[in-house]
Amino acid sequence: MSAIAILTREIESLILRFGDSKFDQEVSPARDGYCERRGRVFEEDEDWENFTRGFLEWYVVERPWLDQGVPPAGVVAAEIDDVERRAALQALVTSQRSLVEVCSIGKHGLQVLDLVGGARFAVTEDRALVGVQVGNVVEMRLIGFQDEIHLGRSFLFHPEGTSDAIASMATSMHQAGKSRSEIVDHVALLRSRARSYRHVSPIRIYENPSLVPGETQ
């Protein structure tokens, strides 16, 4: 089984277990908090499917489960003896959501520039990434597993021409002590606002969030 197939299997298994209706008391507030940080998406929106995929991935990979201090992926990793499965789950726990600019695309992967940390990564990817083009600014999950870097299941595309503003914003927020997740979520919120205020250039909104009522950095 390929590395991405193993990772996908584990994510889907986690979602099936921890997203069960019996855990609605966990899922509902988690979704509300996710929407508050990143902007609310409704079922009729074209982003709904991708939003749901991204939320569920975050819910099982990043959000601490109950009082255990680790996300569901970490909970299961501590329960099982299977070495391969444990390695995949631990890779998910240590993965990071990143804002990247796509530098090049090849047959079996792509080169990306992390706009938050400034590092370049070679990503192994055999799936057909529909819509991904050189120059795109995308929120992606980078997962280190089996000596390679792989992508998660969800992608959030930011408007063309916003990479400089995002890099500048990420630098200033990092210097102010904000975490990577806070930076990524804040930029996702700007994208949501840009979609709502279509009469304003997205680049202007990313460069000056105060153009949007209620937006602060």
Convert the pLDDT of each residue in 155-179 to its tens digit.
Answer: 999 999 999 999 999 999 999 999 9
* Rg of the Cα atoms in the chain: 17
Q: Is the pTM of the predicted complex or chain greater than 0.95? A: no
Q: d(Cα 74, Cα 86) in Å, to the nearest integer? A: 9
Strands 96-106 and 109-114, bridge-based pairing: antiparallel
Q: DSSP state, 126?
A: -
Q: d(Cα 85, Cα 117) in Å, to the nearest integer? A: 29
Q: Is residue 104 part of a domain?
A: no
Distance of CA 15 to CAs 11, 68, 143, 201, Å? 6, 18, 17, 37
Q: d(Cα 158, Cα 39) in Å, to the nearest integer? A: 14
Q: Is residue 75 part of a domain?
A: yes
Boundaries of domain holding 79: 3-93
Q: d(Cα 198, Cα 214) in Å, to the nearest integer? A: 17
Q: Is residue 185 part of a domain?
A: no
Q: What is the pLDDT of residues 44-54, one digit of tens each?
A: 998 899 999 99
pLDDT recorded at residue 217: 41
Q: Is residue 163 part of a domain?
A: no
CA angle 132, 140, 162 (to 5 degrees): 70
Q: Is residue 102 part of a domain?
A: no
Q: d(Cα 43, Cα 57) in Å, to the nearest integer? A: 18
Q: Is residue 162 part of a domain?
A: no
pLDDT recorded at residue 4: 92
Distance of CA 157 to CAs 28, 82, 91, 100, 141, Å? 25, 36, 24, 10, 13
Q: Is residue 174 part of a domain?
A: no
Our count of domains for the chain comes to 1
Q: Is residue 120 part of a domain?
A: no
Phi, psi of 195 (to 5 degrees): -70, -30
CA angle 25, 179, 73 (to 5 degrees): 45
Residue numbers in the chain where pLDDT is lower than 50: 215-217
